[in-house]
Chain A
């Protein structure tokens, strides 16, 4: 279907554009697999050195998957909006709407209805954002911030109306919600757990990671994971997706070719809100079984960061969400020791970046990175565990670190964030 591509408006679907051909590493399948294997060996070594078994345990990966889902869904929301050229900082507010409406639907009608109402709640936020940015041309960030404020305000009022007086519910939380079913792969899951308990180098780590991914996985999680390839297919393999993306790259050219830019932007931003709402519904229905005020805790923003980290592409976004979900999961699984062990990983990575910078002739950057690595190493050697308060912001500092290492190599849609008015050049 991409044969209808109108020339240079839209970048090639398969590869990220390489500004310096030949010098840039292409992320082909063997490279990715090799990278994964290398990371696994490294983490496994660190587990043996530090004895922090939880960094690759099935419990941690299970939790990481659970926590990556809302971040990934928010990121997917960001992807849809920004591919159509609308920056969506209001994801957090749409997610908040999703947590509330998801909980309300689940409480009123049953678990799967909650999924639907959560999507609708988020989509409502998306519709507002589209109205403000597309129809009225308000600055995208300003509108997003306003929606975040409105989302928090609206759910608080609605809770006071609906949840107050219900068993266990109140202004800040809902009653506990009906559960959504989980699946465990029979045979494979117990076998992986046996292997994991042996403590073998690398092998047990693989078993732990895989074990977490096949044990008691919520059906909602499967739905969320399916949305990532689905979004890729819709955005990169259909006419509709091509049109959406052309609005993000060059809306004027798209309009002149007959693409209804306003309608495309509206659709994309509403879908974006729906994804964020789905992420919110996941938080209240699966992650905690209850709606609680402030439960999104900045995950909408982290999702946006995951999307930026993933270079505005679904695969990269999923990797980013996995990373941040993992950082989030460590708080639940003996966080102090696990994060302490990962400090060593950080030292190794920073030292690697320093060497790479040095080889590329960037002496100052190399020295700065090396100093950071030395400081982290000192911290690692001088303590036994990282304080709980620091573990709490592990995902946030990971976001900052990752973005400051990666942000310059990224390319966002060319017309992202620019207000567009039909007929105005």
Chain B
């Protein structure tokens, strides 16, 4: 009985993402057909380009960043706290980390550690603004974190100026002081190139997330608050404090999102520092159902789609088709999970009903 139940649970858990990917593939095919392209050959060329050894390194590198961003969002999601502000948090954190790292000369491990620390603290503090506003002034974190994204962008743009915290490099580019080599995070060589060493930190964050949520009092309180705030309050959880702490942790992880790029590649924060990873993180947390392994798979899928679409322009297909694939995947994933949840709920009720011998005579409709 027990083992049958478990295989059923695994099947159900796999059903949702499979369903979602199928729906996404179907709808993307429609979009391709409308534009007069063959879906099959498009998918084929994407797949063959995506497993190229150079592509694999690119995919891994992108997914490190996305993984961290997804984790940061997921921490909030677990207690129904919507941190839409990861984008602003990682930009302002990476900027100040780059400034601090560029200003000092330290032995290698300390230098990297300092940069990581500054990024985490700045990200945490920036996110905490939204947490404090929520608990003291009742401002929804959805709105405040979005507004803080714009404000963070403005502050960084203001400080990223040769008169302030940046230097001019060449005629066009403006950067923060480049990091000395002691502040670089050594990469891991692979056949197709070098993978950011920061992958180790990202993996540690994933482990830390699992331990924090499943093995600590704080994690228990956090999940309890997410499932039922009233029940959590009744069992003695101080929800206001939980909100601020969760925002701090979420923002701290968000602060790390820019570091794979900063420590592994750009070694300074410039005007061309990539934007928008925070929003990708939301999508990935949704794809991965806030599960650390699921988020990893979501990050890989997302960066696989991005990387493999690079070939499409050569084939005459607009590579923007991938943005449709990504959007449709997210929407169908959330719907598929909801459908599967309902289905398993009905199954459970039916099983309980059968065991108690009080099953409703018409077994094929949703119990009222």
Interface membership of B326, Cβ < 8 A? yes
**Highest count of chain A CB atoms <10 Å: which of B31, B84, B151:** B151
The contact string, 1 if C-beta is below 8 Å from chain A, for chain B 154-169, is 1101100000000000
Q: Are B151 and A396 neighbours in the complex by a CB distance under 8 Å?
A: yes
Chain A residues within 8 Å of B84, by CB: 145
Q: Closest CB-CB distance, A205 to chain B, in whole Å?
A: 29
User: Which residues on the B side are within 8 Å of A346 (C-beta)?
Assistant: none
With both beta carbons as reference points, the residue of chain A lying nearest to B32 in the complex is identified as: A157
Which listed residue, B146, B149, B331, touches A132 by the CB 8 Å rule?
B331
Contact with A along B322-343 (1 / 0, CB 8 A): 0111111011001100110010
Q: A136-B338, A408-B138 are in contact. Are A153 and B144 (CB under 8 A)?
A: no
Give the distance in Å from the alpha carbon of A403 to the alpha carbon of B143 in the complex. 9
A404 and B133 form a contact (CB under 8 A) = yes
CB atoms of A400 and B144 under 8 A apart: yes
Judged by DSSP, the binding face of A is helix
Give the residue of A148, A154, A424 whose beta carbon is less than 8 angstroms from that of B323.
Answer: A154
Q: How far is the CA of A298 from the CA of B152 in the complex (A)?
A: 14
* Contact residues, A359-374 vs B (CB, 8 A): none
B143 & A138 in contact (Cβ 8 Å cutoff): no
Q: Which residue of B133, B158, B338 contacts A137 across the interface (Cβ within 8 Å)?
A: B338
Question: Is B220 on the interface with A (CB-CB < 8 A)?
Answer: no
Do the beta carbons of B368 and A157 come within 8 Å of each other? no
Contact residue among A132, A137, A141, A156 (Cβ-Cβ distance under 8 Å from B82): A141
Taking CB atoms, residues of chain A closer than 8 Å to B153 are 393
List, in ascending order, chain B residues with CB within 8 A of A377's CB: none
User: Counting CB contacts under 8 A, is A107 at the interface?
Assistant: no
A423 and B342 contacting across the interface, CB-CB below 8 Å: no
Contacts of A200 in B (CB 8 A): none
Whether a CB of chain A sits under 8 angstroms from the CB of B14 is no
Residues of B within 8 A of A152 (CB): 323, 327
Name the distance in Å between B343's Cβ and chain A's nearest Cβ.
12
> Which of A23-31, A158-166, A208-216, A261-269 has 4 or more CB atoms under 8 Å from chain B?
A158-166
> Are A149 and B279 neighbours in the complex by a CB distance under 8 Å?
yes
Q: Across the interface, do B139 and A400 meet the contact criterion of CB distance under 8 Å?
A: yes
State the total of A-B contacts with C-beta under 8 angstroms: 131
Determine if A16 is an interface residue (Cβ-Cβ < 8 Å).
no
Question: Closest residue of chain A to B134, judged by CB?
Answer: A407
Inter-subunit contact A301/B133 (CB<8 Å): no
A296: interface (CB < 8 Å): no
- Is A338's beta carbon under 8 Å from chain B? no
B335 touches A403 (CB 8 A): no
Interface size class of B (residues with CB under 8 A): 35 or more
| A interface residues, how many (CB within 8 angstroms) | 48
The answer to whether B324 touches A154, judged by C-beta atoms less than 8 angstroms apart, is yes
Main secondary structure of the interface of B (DSSP, over half): helix
Binary interface encoding of chain B residues 69-107 relative to chain A, with 1 for a CB under 8 A from any of its CBs, else 0? 000000000000010100000000000000000000000
Q: Which of A44-52, A278-286, A384-392 contacts B (4 or more CB under 8 A)?
A: A384-392
B320 at the interface (CB under 8 A from A): yes
Q: Which of B133, B157, B328, B335 has the most CB of A within 10 A?
A: B335
Note all chain B residues with C-beta closer than 8 A to A89.
142
Whether B231 sits at the interface, judged by CB under 8 Å, is: no
What is the 8 Å Cβ interface bit string for chain B, positions 192-221, against chain A (1 contact, 0 not)?
A: 000000000000000000000000000000
Given contacts A145-B282, A393-B154, A400-B144, is CB(A138)–CB(B138) below 8 Å?
no
Is A157 a contact of B143 with CB atoms below 8 Å? no
Instruction: Please tell me if A183 contacts chain B, counting CB pairs below 8 Å.
Output: no
Cross-chain contact B330 with A149 (CB below 8 angstroms): yes
Q: Which of A136, A164, A396, A423 contacts B339 (CB 8 A)?
A: A136
**A389 close to B143 (CB less than 8 A):** no
Q: Does A375 contact B (CB under 8 A)?
A: no
- Asked if A164 meets B318 with Cβ closer than 8 Å, knowing A147-B331, A150-B328, A393-B151, the reply is yes
> Which of B139, B143, B279 interacts with A301 by CB under 8 Å?
B143
- Chain B: which residue is nearest A87 at the CB level? B142
A389 to B159, CA, bound (A): 9
A399 sits at the interface (CB 8 A): yes
In residues 116-143 of chain B, which contact A (Cβ within 8 Å)?
133, 137-140, 142-143
* B323, A399: Cβ atoms closer than 8 Å: no
Question: Would you call B139 and A407 a contact (CB within 8 A)?
Answer: yes
Instruction: Assess whether B188 is interfacial by the CB under 8 Å rule.
Output: no
Distance A142 CA – B80 CA, assembled complex (angstroms): 10
Please tell me if the beta carbons of A301 and B158 are within 8 angstroms of each other in the complex: no
Closest CB-CB distance, A185 to chain B, in whole Å? 36
Query: Is there an interface contact between B143 and A146, defined as CB atoms closer than 8 Å?
Result: no
A81 to chain B, nearest CB (A): 14
In the complex, besides A143-B331, A146-B283, A392-B150, 15 extra interface pairs with C-beta distance below 8 angstroms are A132-B335, A145-B282, A149-B279, A157-B31, A157-B321, A160-B319, A160-B320, A298-B147, A298-B150, A305-B147, A387-B158, A392-B154, A404-B139, A407-B138, A407-B140
Which of B's residues lie within 8 Å of A, judged by CB? Answer: 31, 35, 82, 84, 133, 137-140, 142-144, 146-151, 153-155, 157-158, 279, 282-283, 286, 318-321, 323-328, 330-331, 334-335, 338-339, 342, 366, 368
